[in-house]
Structure 1
């Protein structure tokens, strides 16, 4: 899914996409939620978003998607089950921000031991370049030592990087500038004070909202 900034940090203005047309960016709609949303069938996703997010009654949802109200109710229920089954213990936002800051400092310092301490043993890092930029990772990287080494290797091979703490999909994230250009936006899933998932977006088509960062 596309990483989105906080409304106050939205860069596109009238030239970009209207954030009001997107799923509400509050603390309950993080990258993990969007990944689950993306895994739903189109019918589940439409029924869930229209009913649970935008509060359309099932009768109106049915008219929009061309199914019966009962079928739409079942689709929304199936979507909710997917979300519940993917849930992890919620880490307070303030603690998430602290973990991300510690991660940023360790990454800038190329401190593998500090990175490993912040990563869950089963952490997964996923990159998306869309074939339009050099990928940080070309396939998911699993395990905290493998992820930490890949992160350090990435910084060691690059010059002129600036790391900025930003709100990404309603939660603490990072923006990596290459010179003055936004090269990567990172979103995180955090549980029990450990990073369990890292999403590194480098596809410029999905970074348009960050162009003036």
Structure 2
């Protein structure tokens, strides 16, 4: 099975250490070299870095529950780990639908900074293993991940494994538990969803210019300039998980969103807006007292912003926060409100 399907995802390095029966026994370093590949796969499947890390941890736990003889009998440990991780993610996706029905407000995939930001001291000064980073490419941008959320678990797994990681359908079938022909149909259905829901994005430099103009108009409280940068049918969605103030339902319309943003920056004098890369694309980060409180991702068509995603759930902002443990301080956050001013 392929383990180098995505650039930077980690190469297979199985180092033999001849045990008594002469069979190669993969070393710990060889097994851990698969970690980046597994995290890359799990994040794309689950849309949550925290859940991806848990899935990968569970994958390794299952490996070490095998006896020494069972491990030595596995021809490709990398293929075995990928198969188990895929099945764990498939099960998590099936249960996630039920969990997200009880989620407070809308659920947005967890946003990720670019690797330099991740390891540049903005994650509480902690040293983060490069193997834990997710490779940023087109399959990681927010618009793409949001479309994946509309797929069935089997569609999502078949599509990501085949179209993104280039696994043959015979191997996808072994993970999904269906025939290769059925997996081919699942991937085809997922592909149609992608095509019908997405519009061609402008070049990255153009996107960055539009986001920069949006930031400047927002800081200047220029409602007319903001409206000019927003598509008339633009939609803004907030995600707090009930742990921060945000809109409880998507807000539609350029004027309503522009006025809400201007009201927000007018009431919060200590709000700092920074240009940052969000899931590989130009985005914005809002900070208060030097701490990231909101990450904004955008979908852009032509010269207009068509979608805005505002992630405020502190549990989804771990890689963005500096010197604060969001897992230990979420109880200090006020409850979510239905208020456009908290976008």
Q: TM-score range by the shorter chain?
A: over 0.9
- Alignment correspondent of 1:33: 144
Distance 2:167 2:129 in 1: 29
- Alignment correspondent of 1:161: 271
Q: Give the drift of 1:40.
A: 0.7
User: Residue 193 of structure 2: SS of its match in structure 1?
Assistant: helix
- Change in CA separation of 1:203 and 1:16 when aligned onto 2, cut-off 3 Å: farther
Q: Deviations over 1:48-79 (max 9, x none)?
A: 11111111111111111111111111101111
Runs (4 or more) in structure 1 with deviation over 2 Å come to 11-17
TM-score normalised over the length of structure 2: 0.58
- Alignment correspondent of 1:101: 212
Q: Structure 1: which 5+ runs fail to align?
A: none
Q: Give the drift of 1:16.
A: 10
Higher-strand-fraction structure: 1
Pair 1:202 & 2:316 matched: no
Q: Structure 2: which 5+ runs fail to align?
A: 1-108, 324-343
User: Residue 14 of structure 1: SS of its match in structure 2?
Assistant: coil
- Alignment correspondent of 2:300: 190
Distance 1:50 1:131 in 2: 33
Alignment length, in residue pairs?
209
Higher relative contact order (CA 8 A, sep 6+): 1
Greater Rg over alpha carbons, structure: 2
Contact 1:175/1:186 (CA < 8 Å) preserved in 2? yes
TM-score normalised over the length of structure 1: 0.93
- Alignment correspondent of 1:148: 258
Q: Give the drift of 1:192.
A: 1.1
Q: Deviations over 1:34-53 (max 9, x none)?
A: 10011111000000111111
CA RMSD of aligned residues (A): 1.8
